[in-house]
Each structure stands twice: as structure tokens, then as C-alpha cells.
Structure 1
Amino acid sequence: MNDNELRQLIKSYPEKGQRAFYDKYFNYVYTIVFSYLKNCGRTEDVDECVGDVFAQCFLYFDKQETIEGDMKALAASIARRRAVDAYRKLVKHSGNISIEECEEELRSSEDVVETSETSELRQILYSKVKELGEPESTIIIHKYYYGRTSTEIGEIVSMSGDVVRVKCSRAIKKLREMLVKVGING
């Protein structure tokens, strides 16, 4: 479900839309919150913060006449703010962590968001490569994941190097089209 479909669902059927938003972004939000709270909070603290993030998102949706912008960016922004607030609150009450550790932890957590997005993109890319079918998916995987030559791949898939090059070229073109359809421009 893309952002436009999700926006329409949230406005037309709020409960279904909120559930779809939650299902789509739960792992992403949880990863962000966990990265901030892993060293000072319990599982319950992480769960509570994740719940607060979605509650704030849903309140935002209810207040808006039209929902604009990137839904993932909205979830990430609210998750970071809520996680930082929860982190500060937990550190203040525990008294066991120094200010320097707090600052370092908050700075390093930004990398987790980027890592999470990169991981998600890799999963999407890999699933689209698999959708190409055989032998194209095997050719693409061996060429771009393992760095094999067309001749080496030809031996694996029982084809000549020239045929592998043609199939690879066509598969890349098809893969680009598939990625554009899911909103990834390459």
C-alpha cells in the first residue's frame, strides 16, 4: 500500500487506516525507539514509547483536513522526538548514566534510522529480484551480489556468456520498472 492509498484509507475509514499505518510502520518505529532506549530502558519502556508514537500519529491524522507529506518521514520524526523525550526521562530518574553517555547515545541513534531504511531498501530490492524469475534472478544475484563475470554465471546457469549478458541487460531494465512502480527511483 503506497502513501496515497494509506491517506485515503485513513480519511475514509479511520480505524482501518490507522491499523494499516500501524502494520506498515511498526517495525520501523520500533527500531528507532529501541535504538534510543536500549541502554537505559526496559522492554516495557520501549513498548510504551512506541504506543505513544502511534497515538501521536493518529491524533495528527484526526486533526488534519488533508494529510500531506511522506508518511514514513512523519512516523520517523515523531518516533525520534518521543524516544529522545523518553530517554531523557529515564536517564533523569535512573541517575546511573552520565551526560556524556546520553549525548553520545542520542547522536549515534541517527545512524540506526539510516541503517533501517537501507535494510528495508535491500529487502525490497531482493524481493523484486526474486520476482524476475529464473534464470534472471540467479544471473542478477551472481553478477551484482557475488561479482561474477558473465562467463562464470553462464557456467552456473548452463548458458553462454553472451546470452547471460543479454538476459542480464533485459532483467535490469525490467527490475528498474518494477522498482519505479513501488516508488523507488534508480
Structure 2
Amino acid sequence: MNENDLVQLIKSAPERGQRAFYDKYFNYVYTIVYAKLKCYAKPEDIDECVGDVFAHCFFYFDKHEDINGSLKAFVAAVARNKAVDTYRRVARHKERNVSIEETGELVSEENVAESSETTEMRRLLYDKVSELGEPDSTIIIQKYFYGRSSKEIARIVELSADNVRARGSRAVKKLRELLLQAGFAR
């Protein structure tokens, strides 16, 4: 049965037309839905989605007298859209409900104490560099964080390269003193 015959059957005898439509496109719809949801949804969610696709199509046929265009393209578009809707529903549900059995023991390679200490040290270092004031803090950050040369830094802070080197040397000494006062012993 070609698409034109199927459209005529849907219009003239809706029950028989819907049955023929279902028989003709079931495998096609199932393939589309399964391909989109196979890794995310349970088999019953996939079956429900396929049912939703046909329900949507039958509802559309009942409401619209003129069925134009390719039925295959129409059913494919509905199947893709319903699969996306199902994916969103399943993903939302999974985000909220994760059983303890599914998660198992959570293992991390990260040493939380060490990571926290490193973060705290970085914050303190940044605060102390900021205390140096301008242009010294910019010189330290550009030299030691970005690895820029004195000549490049000189263009940024609008000083001579010799002046940048001298200020940088004094800034490092001052920073060392500030860190020692804050409890960093070396």
C-alpha cells in the first residue's frame, strides 16, 4: 500500500487506516526512537514513547482533514520530537533520583586536605601580591604567572625595562617579607 492509498484509507475508514498506518510504520518509528534513547531510557520508556508517537499521529489525523506531504517524513519528525521529549523527562528524573546502590562508593583521586591547603595558599599569595600596590603587583603577576620579559612588562606598565627589573626585585623582597609575616616560613 503506497502513501496515497494509506491517506485515503485514513480519511475514509479511520480505524482501518490507523491500523494500516501502525502496521506500516511501527518498525520505522521503533528504530528511530530506539536509536535516540537506547543508552538513556528503560525499555518500557522506549515502548511508551513509540505509543506516544502513534497517539500523536492519530490525534493529528482526526483533527486535520487535509493530510499533505510525506507520511514517512511526518512520522519520522514526530518520532524524533517525542524521543527528545522522553529523553528530557528521563534525564530530569534521573538527576533527582539516584539510588545509593547505583552510585556505590564514591572514590576521588583528589586529596581534599592538600587541595584545600593549596587553595588557601594561592588566595593568601594573591592577597599579598595585591598588597604590593601598582605597578609592583602587575610586574610580579606578569613575570611569574605569565612569564613575560622585562621588556614586555615595561610596555604594559609604561616604565623602562631597567625600571621594571629594579621594581620587580624590590617587589619580590617585599613580598617575601609579607609572606613571612603571614606565617609562611622558608
Secondary structure in structure 2 of the residue aligned to 1:65: coil
- How far the C-alpha of 1:34 sits from its partner, in A, is 0.6
Q: Structure 2: where are the runs of 5+ without partners?
A: 98-186
Q: Equivalent residue for 1:163?
A: none
Q: Equivalent residue for 1:4?
A: 4
- Separation (CA, whole Å) in 1 of partners of 2:91 and 2:35: 15
The reply to whether residue 60 of structure 1 matches residue 63 of structure 2 is no
Length-normalised TM-score, structure 1: 0.51
Q: Equivalent residue for 2:173?
A: none
Matches within 5 A, 1:116-127: none
RMSD across aligned C-alpha pairs, in angstroms?
Answer: 1.5
Secondary structure in structure 1 of the residue aligned to 2:65: coil
The reply to whether residue 22 of structure 1 matches residue 49 of structure 2 is no
| Number of aligned positions between the proteins | 97
- Separation (CA, whole Å) in 2 of partners of 1:40 and 1:20: 30
Q: Equivalent residue for 2:76?
A: 76
- Separation (CA, whole Å) in 2 of partners of 1:6 and 1:60: 15
Q: Equivalent residue for 2:47?
A: 47
Which protein is bigger by CA-based radius of gyration? 2
Bigger RCO of structures 1 and 2 (CA < 8 A, at least 6 apart): 1
Q: Equivalent residue for 1:85?
A: 85
- Separation (CA, whole Å) in 2 of partners of 1:88 and 1:14: 32
- How far the C-alpha of 1:40 sits from its partner, in A, is 1.3
Runs of 4+ in 1 over 2 A off after TM superposition: none
Q: Structure 1: where are the runs of 5+ without partners?
A: 97-186
Matches within 5 A, 1:124-135: none
- 1:128-169 alpha-carbon deviations (Å, 9 max, x no partner): xxxxxxxxxxxxxxxxxxxxxxxxxxxxxxxxxxxxxxxxxx
- Separation (CA, whole Å) in 2 of partners of 1:35 and 1:48: 15
- 1:90-147 alpha-carbon deviations (Å, 9 max, x no partner): 0111129xxxxxxxxxxxxxxxxxxxxxxxxxxxxxxxxxxxxxxxxxxxxxxxxxxx
- How far the C-alpha of 1:36 sits from its partner, in A, is 1.2
- Separation (CA, whole Å) in 2 of partners of 1:53 and 1:65: 19
Identity %: 65
- Separation (CA, whole Å) in 1 of partners of 2:16 and 2:87: 31
